[in-house]
Structure 1
Amino acid sequence: MATLHEANFSALDRIHFDLTTLRLFEATAELGAVTKAAERIFLAPAAASRRIQEFEAQFGIPLFERLPHGMALTDAGRALLAHVRSMMHSVARMQDDASAFRQGNMGVVRLAACTSAVLQFLAQDIRRCQDEYPGIKIDLLEANSQGVVEAVTRGVADIGIYESTLGGTELPTQPYREDRLVLAVPHGHPLAKKKRVRLEDILPHEVIGLSEGAALSLALGRLAAQSGQVLHMRVMVRSFHSMAAMIAQGIGIGLMPAKVAELLVGGDRFGTVAVEGEWATRRFVLCHQPAHAMSGSGMAVAAMLATAPRKSSRSGKALRPVSQIAKPASAK
């Protein structure tokens, strides 16, 4: 009778696939069609379809649901996609390390960041990285704060930047930046005439929120609960651009970073009002893979993001990293 160890080894021994199959599986999941995925990675459609079927057969479970107009991942497929992306990331990191040994500071660094950080800070920081390390390519993934931490935890990204109210993480962290929220209001709104607003002024009104997992919406919900008030958030959007469009049409009000509001207020689409309270100052945290899992290129980029001198585009004053402990307090 076979032992458990022998049974596990036998099951693993039956699993055979190559990087082309992994790339095909990932592309099919992203594009929703094996023909489009085959075109992306330069495979014949018939060969691609056969590879997907053989991949599923090895695990003994359907990874895709066949629909009239495409393919959608099953629950099992979504679980395996996370493993496939982790493996692809490991291969890319292996290539990165080999390239670094051959040519010095070369390679690909995958950076995940929340939208607020992308819009306000990262363009400047990535430019500095390019100037300092022209051989390093930065692959930027934009997600909400929760998605950023998940991406780094799963190995999909080397470095992540997220908003600190999300809570703690076991990953190595250090302070990154801070911003200040303002209230964006339609013209003619009762709050538009105020010079400053407090939390209790905001909560009675319809608020345009960001999608599930966004740190800003989660923090606002916690603040409302702590004050014993109800948060009215019937409309949720995926980006500040969409939020601005809703506000401009008078559908509601919204909180966004002051610098983001400056970018989106073109054509005098809506007004902004200062927000009172320490809660309106947000702190961002830089996290990364454990040192033993980081390439030399990744460590170089992480160090530059954390320490590079930064300038305000309007005042010319240096922007310092936030003055808080490296590991953010857990959300309460």
Structure 2
Amino acid sequence: MKLDPITLRLFVAVMEENAIARAAAREHIAPSAASRRLAELEDQLQVELFTRSNRGSTPTAAAYALLHMARGVLNELDGIATQMKDYAHDGGKGLRGHVRVMANISSITQFLPAQLQRFMSRHPHVDVRLQERVSTDIARAVADNEADIGLLNHGSYGDKISLRPYRSDRLAVVVPQGHALARQRKLALAQVVAHDLIGMHADSALNHLITRAAADQGLQPRLRMKVTGYDALCLMVAAGLGIGILPEGSARIYIGALPLRCIRLAEPWAERQLMLCVRSQDALSPVAQLLVEHLCRPEPTEIE
């Protein structure tokens, strides 16, 4: 049996785009040629990957199983090409490889930049590919082999991924300078929700956490607007459009640059645990394992 990468990439594209025409355009191939390649793939594997009807094609259970394996194979093929190209440039010296990382905004804005800078300065030929996603998408992507490493909020994500502690953070409240709450040293949620809030988008873990905590206390937040990043949240707060809740480490980036005050949120759930997830430690490449250990290294010994 000979499975070529072009057909596997086309198959993955069809699964991700949920339409042969869109997948064919993405892979720069004619729709008729794409359909023919998919039929030939089914013949080679001797299994039905799509149930066809007048309404279109529906993936079978076998298609979802193949999707997971195909992503892994294509990732390894990409890694071979990248590493061999780099070896050719310097005679085969040094650690090489590539690692796919997905992380939530809290990890990216508070911890990852310095950590990745140190790692990549020590291993300049390791290609770290980083994407920002929400925690639920990160867990799914790692389970489905779209990513090697995920950094996400603590939670229950099923048994297809393995979790280990990454970092902890604390939530704080940002208010404009001169706001009625600006002189407070700490705030309870009840004090915060008495004012208009600038919140994160509906799918964010932070939005779910605040909404759940408010409901538990019988409170109704006055959410004035939703944004997709901490930078936008702080800009809206600085403009006097409301107040916001975000990780204290992320807020520090904007304090000083914007007329804001950062006040501790005195709630037990404001202390959060961020986690690192993988499919399994054994499934990681050597460079991915090295990055995992680097990211999870305790703060006191993190400086290299």
Taking structure 2 as the reference length, the TM-score comes to 0.75
1:252-291 aligned at under 5 Å gives the runs 252-265=242-255, 267-291=257-281
1:69-148 aligned at under 5 Å gives the runs 84=67, 87-93=70-76, 96=79, 105-148=95-138
Contact between 2:143 and 2:279, CA under 8 Å: does it hold in 1? yes
Q: 1:269 to 1:35 in 2, by over 3 A?
A: farther
1:146-161 aligned at under 5 Å gives the runs 146-161=136-151
SS across alignment from 2:169: strand
Question: C-alpha displacement at 1:269, in angstroms?
Answer: 4.0
Unaligned runs of 5+ in 2: 40-48
Task: Spell out, residue by residue over 1:292-329, the C-alpha distance to the aligned partner (whole angstroms, 9 max, x if none).
Answer: 3222221121111112x64xxxxxxx388xxxxxxxxx
258-267 vs 297-306, which moves further: 258-267
Unaligned runs of 5+ in 1: 1-12, 66-73, 311-317, 321-332
Question: C-alpha displacement at 1:106, in angstroms?
Answer: 2.1
181-190 vs 83-92, which moves further: 83-92
Q: 1:99 to 1:185 in 2, by over 3 A?
A: closer
Structure with greater proportional strand content: 2
Q: 1:247 to 1:54 in 2, by over 3 A?
A: farther
Counterpart in the other structure of 1:19: 5
Which amino acid letter does the alignment assign opposite residue 242 of structure 2? G
Question: C-alpha displacement at 1:113, in angstroms?
Answer: 0.8
Task: Spell out, residue by residue over 1:58-95, the C-alpha distance to the aligned partner (whole angstroms, 9 max, x if none).
Answer: 83549x99xxxxxxxx9869xx7996476234321355
Contact between 1:17 and 1:55, CA under 8 Å: does it hold in 2? no
140-149 vs 93-102, which moves further: 93-102
Whether 1:50 aligns to 2:40 is: no
Which amino acid letter does the alignment assign opposite residue 289 of structure 1? R
Question: C-alpha displacement at 1:279, in angstroms?
Answer: 2.2
- Which of the residues 282, 296, 303 maps onto 2:286? 296
Task: Spell out, residue by residue over 1:124-152, the C-alpha distance to the aligned partner (whole angstroms, 9 max, x if none).
Answer: 11122213333321111211122211111
1:133-282 aligned at under 5 Å gives the runs 133-164=123-154, 166-167=155-156, 169-170=158-159, 171-265=161-255, 267-282=257-272
Indicate the percent of aligned positions where both proteins have the same amino acid.
28
SS across alignment from 1:264: coil
Contact between 2:120 and 2:126, CA under 8 Å: does it hold in 1? yes
CA RMSD of aligned residues (A): 3.9
Q: Distance in 1 between matches of 2:257 and 2:195?
A: 25
Q: 1:205 to 1:94 in 2, by over 3 A?
A: same
Contact between 2:10 and 2:23, CA under 8 Å: does it hold in 1? no
Number of equivalent positions: 281
Q: Distance in 2 between matches of 1:34 and 1:198?
A: 53
Question: C-alpha displacement at 1:244, in angstroms?
Answer: 2.0
Contact between 2:20 and 2:34, CA under 8 Å: does it hold in 1? no
